[in-house]
Structure 1
Amino acid sequence: MSTTQPTFLIEDLHVSVEGKEILKGVDLAVERGEIHALMGPNGSGKSTLANTLMGHPKYKVTQGRALFQGENILALTPDERARRGLFLAFQYPVAIPGVSLGNFLRAATRAVRGDALTAGAFRKELMEKMQLLKMDSSFAARYVNDGLSGGEKKRAEVLQMALLQPRIAVMDETDSGLDIDALRTVAEGVNAIHTPEMGVLVITHYQRLLNYIRPQFVHVLVAGRVVKSG
């Protein structure tokens, strides 16, 4: 029997927001190469979990731990978590007017991967990833999430995932606000970049997303606890 610890292990996680307990003992494990779906109704704590994992200061951990490759990431700053290989795709991506997506992605890639990428080398890799995701090269010149449709914002985050090559990617309600065509396009992008080295936790309350991203495991979160896994 194997005693190897999963790449990402959440144990008895309790989280409060403004004194109110939202997560009440979450247990979850994600291994590299696996795709997990976390489902549950609005208010069950799904986005609280995502924001806690990336270190949002609004969310206070009162008990439990989150081990990433054996290290408790709850003691790390958000940028340290990102450099370790943890990625969060936001439900509502933030716009950065005046900053092109290409420049933003190059800065993020160098910071997270630690690569001394030349402009030419990055441009080549960027174009390869955009081609893989069936994105027009002109998209890189657009400002980060500024004036983009919901589907375009989510595709930009999938492109960021492709470049950062995280060990674990947490996707917080990626399907929120997308029509069926945009949903299919984003899901195809996730499937295209998923590798045996990347674990993915997809957070959603829509069954429809799972028609396009096929998880090996599904967990149900209700009132701050995982009540069913399978």
Structure 2
Amino acid sequence: MLEISNLHATVADKPIIRGLDLVVPTGEVHAIMGPNGAGKSTLAYVLGGRPGYKVTDGSVSFDGADLLALEPHERAAAGLFLGFQYPVEIPGVSYLQFLRESLNAQRRSRGQEELSGGAFIKLAKEKAALLGMDAEMLKRPVNVGFSGGEKKRAEMVQMGIMDPKLAILDETDSGLDIDALKAVGKGINSIMRAPDKSVLLITHYQRLLDYVKPDRVHVLSAGKIVRSGGPELAHELEREGYAEVAA
């Protein structure tokens, strides 16, 4: 699904990603953990195509295509979803309007028919119910007045509606209480646990991995993967800290 080879990237001419190699096979959930400043969010933004994040070397293959050759909207249409640590607010635009326009734009790019208003509302209600979210909240402006947990639940609803092949979730557990954490974990499992989908889950802490069991855990330090292992590696990181495990 995702293959990264010798990736180097800079932000404001400062090297952040320094020779990163990573393979996420189809049907697997991989977690990336690491200390602050390791390059975790930079990696997510590079894969999503955020402006200002410049790739200076290496390659990224997504579902057999050259990901780096695609514009951000083309990456989304190809099936890549990027979840943000801090979802942005968009005053004046209802979440339902935002989601419907996003979904139909992707459907048009794939040569599919747009969803009618009725069909879309039905889909949105189904996905909101899955996350334990009142669908009425989706009538509000995007993330305006939402708590941290509500923003993350809404983002999971968005992911369910978009139905991506690969979800890159950047610290989606940030700021969540126990109930919200469980809901987000349930959303990831119900939406993305499938033979034809994959997840790259970026997190500081092991706690989300209690609900989303990863197939592999990778330690990112100083811009590269320095260690990989099974789910037990996350527990080792929790006990020993990054300095000991990444040494």
TM category (shorter chain) comes to over 0.9
Correspondence for 2:71 among 77, 98, 102: 77
Aligned equivalents of 2:133, 2:160: Cα separation in 1: 13
The unaligned stretches of length 5 or more in structure 1 are 1-6
Aligned positions of 1:196-207 closer than 5 A: 196-207=195-206
Alignment-derived partner of residue 142 in structure 2: 144
RMSD of aligned residue pairs (Cα, Å): 1.1
Partner residue in 2 for 1:111: 105
2:189 to 167, 191, 196: 191
The residue identity in structure 1 corresponding to 2:45 is N
Distance 1:21 1:169 in 2: 25
Q: Per-residue deviation at 1:197?
A: 2.0
Alignment coverage as a number of residue pairs: 224
Compute the TM-score of the two structures, normalised by the length of structure 1. Answer: 0.94
Q: 2:148 and 2:107 mapped to 1: Cα distance?
A: 27
- 2:134 and 2:204 mapped to 1: Cα distance? 30
1:217: which partner in 2?
A: 216
Q: Does 1:177 align with 2:188?
A: no
Q: How far apart, CA to CA, are the structure 2 residues paired with 1:214 and 1:139?
A: 29
Using structure 2 for the length normalisation, give the TM-score: 0.88
In the TM superposition, residue 134 of structure 1 has moved relative to its aligned partner by 2.0
Instruction: Report the secondary structure of 2:189's partner residue.
Output: helix
- Helix, strand or coil at the partner of 2:49: coil
**Does the 8 Å contact 1:10/1:67 carry over to 2?**
yes
Distance in 2 (alpha carbons) for counterparts of 1:123 and 1:184: 25
| Residues in 1 aligned to 2:105 and 2:90: alpha-carbon distance in whole angstroms | 18
| Paired AA for residue 68 in structure 1 | F
Find the aligned partners of 2:60 and 2:159 in 1 and give their Cα distance.
21
- Give yes or no for the alignment of 1:34 onto 2:28: yes
Runs of 5+ unmatched residues, structure 2? 230-247
Displacement after TM superposition at 1:126 (Å): 1.3
- Separation in structure 2 between the aligned mates of residue 56 and residue 44 of structure 1, nearest angstrom: 18
What is the identity, as a one-letter code, of the residue corresponding to 1:131? A
Q: Which runs of 4+ in 1 moved over 4 A?
A: none
Match of 1:155 in 2: 153
Residues of 2 paired with 1:198 and 1:157: CA distance? 18
Q: Distance in 2 between matches of 1:157 and 1:65?
A: 28
SS in 1 for 2:176: coil
CA distance in 2, matches of 1:140, 1:121: 15
- What amino acid maps onto 1:150 in structure 2? G
Q: Residue type of the partner of 2:201?
A: V
Distance 2:107 2:165 in 1: 11
Q: Is the 8 A contact 2:26 2:197 kept in 1?
A: yes
CA distance in 1, matches of 2:83, 2:106: 15
CA distance in 1, matches of 2:80, 2:21: 18
> Once the two structures are superposed, what CA deviation does each residue of 1:78-121 show, in whole Å capped at 9, x if it has no partner?
10110111110011111011111111111111112334111111
1:97 aligns with 2:91: yes
- For residues 137 and 27 of structure 2, the distance between their equivalents in structure 1, rounded to whole angstroms, comes to 29
Question: Do the aligned residues in 1 keep the contact of 2:132 with 2:183 (CA within 8 Å)?
Answer: no
How big is the shift at 1:180? Answer: 2.3
Alignment of 1:48-63 (within 5 A): 48-63=42-57
**Aligned-partner Cα distance in 1 for 2:105–2:5:** 29
Please state how far the C-alpha of 1:172 moved relative to its aligned partner: 0.3
Structure 2 Cα separation of the partners of residues 196 and 134 of structure 1: 25
